[in-house]
Chain A
Amino acid sequence: MKALRKYLDKIKPNFEEGGKLAMFRSVFEGFETFLFVSSETSKSGVHIHDSIDAKRTMTAVIIALIPAVLFGMYNTGYQHYLSIGITPGIWSTFLYGLLAVLPIIIVSYVVGLGIEFTVAQWKHEEIQEGFLVSGILIPLIVPVDTPLWMIAVATAFAVIFAKEIFGGTGYNIFNVALVTRAFLFFAYPASMSGDKVFVRTDSTFGFGGGTVVDGFSGATPLGQINIAPAEQIGSFQPVDVLGNPLSLWDMFIGLIPGSIGETSTLAILIGAVILLFTGVASWKTMLSVFVGGAFMACIFNLIGTTVYMTISPLENIILGGFAFGAVFMATDPVTSCRTETGKYIFGFLVGVMAILIRVLNPGFPEGMMLAILLLNTFAPLIDYYVVESNISKRLKRAINK
């Protein structure tokens, strides 16, 4: 490591103001701090600092996402082979998924980080780590058959218009990954919904070819629920791509069609435990989303005039993007509420809105994305009233002294 350090010290002057490669300064600094923790010492204020920094925090989130990523890859392969009627080994299944998902991850990172690097250099700032998380979230919330160019366009749109124009990481109002998803959803609705996009039936890089079996349908369970006629109330049964009934357990484990990372509630729960234990995400937000969702689902159960209304709170939570949104999206500290009281309100309303949109809007079988984006808008307002109550308490005290 010493040799590497020496080499970095040797080439460093080139990147400093006036050096030959000064235009790549931010990139160099980015890599330098990536390789070695900065040895800069404090000049004013506290003389010692906690070891945590933005890189470490983002790393914790990425580690928490790994179970969902790996399971998403496996499930992509699983759904594919199910649809062509072959039962290969576990490794072939995973390999197929890996080959299908990896290009999406690469495109998301290359486009997003490319923009981040450019903007950082342009503003003469350090490269910020925010996109390390957004870049892995994006592949997890899109259908596997989304064309790569669409992902590239949507990522670029989100990074520029949802983040950089606000000032970069820490200043954005909307969750960047969800803006990407929303852009795809509204700009290319045909490629983002329906029953064709959630299961890849073609071969990937010439791997895993075959013909789709008869009776195949790639509709997600929520898609099936959404179109089920009212006569099926009480008898409705979600099915897999071949029409076999799905049990609650299958849906919890996540071997169902859906966006890449959202299907397995189990993998998401492992992530949730990591996030909560490391203290990176707030349990208040997370819990409130689930409570809000269950609450709204119960209300709809009482009404029960469509199949969707009769879906139990538990199924509502483990199906679709609800759990993923609750654990990884609603808890984004930058775009959710920043006061503790606010977090309860924010989370609860996200849960309520998600189920409300799901059940009542015939166009969209899923409502989590819109619910979180909507509440992102209201988060500052909620915080404003929480802080305002502290202010009025202080003013009252001054008057009553």
Chain B
Amino acid sequence: MANVIKIKKGLDIHLKGSASNVPLKGNASETYAILPESYNGISPKVIAKVGDKVKAGSVLLVDKNHPEIKFVSPVSGEVIAVNRGEKRKLLSVVVKPDATIEYEAFGKKNVANLQPEQIKEALLEAGVWPFIKQRPYDIVATPTDTPRDIFVSTHYTAPLAPDFEYILKDQEADFQTGLNALSKLTPGKVYVGVKKNSTLKPSGVEVVEVEGPHPAGNISVLINKLKPLNKGEIVWTVNPDDVILIGRILNKGIADFTRLVVLTGPETTERGYIRTIAGCTIKSLVEGKLLEGKEHLRIISGNVLSGKKVSKDDYLYAYDNQITVIPEGDETFEFFGWATPGLGKFSVSHTFLTWLIGKHKEYVIDARIRGGKRAMIMSHEYDKVFPFDIYPEYLLKAIISFDIDKMENLGIYEIAPEDFALCEFVDTSKLEIQQIVRNGLNLLYKELN
């Protein structure tokens, strides 16, 4: 191990309901869907029509600005709906699967013999390109760019996050192929972040150990600590699960979107890793595994910090490999809650007596905001959980006032909304910080492109 990064700032929130490394059986998903909302920075254009027969790997939609970026059906079957919302915004393209999946054949590829252009073509063709994201802006990468470096973090540190080494089991070859393909796409290096004492030993890439509390596993930590992003530079990032996907598609020559999704959270009866296909229904993952009837539940596609609220009829978001179920809490009214001693209420501050209980107790935290929105009052709150050489408060203020120069100068290119998740969690003033950052990045992208 050459490189070790240690961070101190951050916060591990110990939630009840962690999954042990065991497989769990899911139900069959009645439909599958592509959700354009999963991907930032694209304007979707629907290619398939309702009633079309498709195979796994057939194109359903493309990006208007870069039509070569294709979004393909994860299964074979019939397109049964193209759902649109307000202002005809495309919400989802839904496919009803056949009993057995038929695949479009793309042909097996030997990465070692391919030119970068051919690899790009293969990834675009098979519909896995959208899994490559770029910084700045945290959007789907542009195929014509050449990134300075590519970053992959295999160390999931968010609350109740899956263990990548368990996911990787029996897929090591695909992971390696994926990394090989990626390293051909950049003149720089592919950096792979791993946890301390990891057994992961991919070759041909720069392996970096990351230690510390969440957000240690966030990709921004790797970028910021290894090679900060400067104005004008582009780097790409890929989730490790999607590196496996890329490798598998190159190795097998078919669009096999199988992935492992971990079911976690205090309101589940069974927890573990479910083998499923991207775009499956939430119902197929959670049905029969929830503590229902007692109180309202909140199902989250992703983790509690940066995931999205979903219902059983919704679909798994594209990049997600985790479902978390927590109590909603909207039926709870706490009498004089702000004045009680607060034993058992989780807080980073010592204003609640929770510190008496000790650091490692596991908590059930519901979805209540627990306070009214205020102006920023406390200082140094965000900094304590923000391990980057950036002044989060000043960057946020620059974003709110949309001062482009200030945003650039204060380091907006180096971060993604998820890096602010902990700031949002600890915020006394209850501001929607991730949303502020996302809007800022989107506006900035529009302004400069």
Contact = CB atoms under 8 A, between A and B. Distances in A.
Interface of A: 1, 4-5, 33, 35-57, 59-60, 126, 128, 130, 167-171, 277-280, 282, 333-334, 336-340, 387, 390-391, 393-395, 397-398, 401
A279 B230 contact: no
B380 A44 contact: no
Given A36-B337, A47-B300, A278-B350, A391 B409 contact: yes
Category for how many chain B residues contact A: 35 or more
B368 A57 contact: no
Contact of B367 (A41, A51, A339): A41
B351 interface: yes
B184 interface: no
Overall SS of chain A's interface = loop
A334 B381 CA distance: 13
Contacts of B376: 170
Contacts of B339: 59
B374 to A, nearest CB: 5
A48 B366 contact: yes
B409 A48 contact: no
B428 A38 contact: no
Residue among B306, B332, B370, B432 with most chain A CB within 10 A = B370
9 contacts: A37-B338, A41-B330, A41-B366, A46-B306, A50-B370, A52-B352, A57-B349, A167-B375, A398-B230
B291 interface: no
Given A40-B368, A44-B432, A170-B429, A282 B380 contact: yes
B421 interface: yes
B350 A277 contact: yes
B298 interface: yes
Given A41-B298, A41-B330, A54 B411 contact: no
B22 to A, nearest CB: 25
Given A169-B375, A282-B380, A333-B379, A387 B425 contact: no
Given A44-B435, A47-B309, A398-B230, A52 B349 contact: yes
B434 A46 contact: yes
A38 to B, nearest CB: 7
Interface string B378-398: 111001000001110110000
A338 to B, nearest CB: 4
Nearest to B429: A54
A394 B409 contact: yes
Given A36-B335, A390-B391, A52 B347 contact: yes
Interface of B: 13, 15, 228, 230-233, 298, 300, 304-307, 309, 324, 326, 328-339, 342, 345-352, 354, 365-380, 383, 389-391, 393-394, 409-411, 421, 424-430, 432-435
Nearest to A384: B394
Contacts of A53: 338, 370-372, 428, 430
Contact of B347 (A47, A50, A393): A50
Nearest to B406: A391
Contacts of A35: 335-336
A39 B350 contact: no
A50 B373 CA distance: 13
A57 B370 contact: no
A45 to B, nearest CB: 4
A256 B78 CA distance: 87
B429 A390 contact: no
B428 A52 contact: yes
Nearest to B390: A390
B231 A398 contact: yes
A387 to B, nearest CB: 5
B97 to A, nearest CB: 30
Can you list the 4 inter-chain pairs with the closest CB atoms, starting with the nearest?
A53-B371, A170-B375, A37-B337, A338-B379
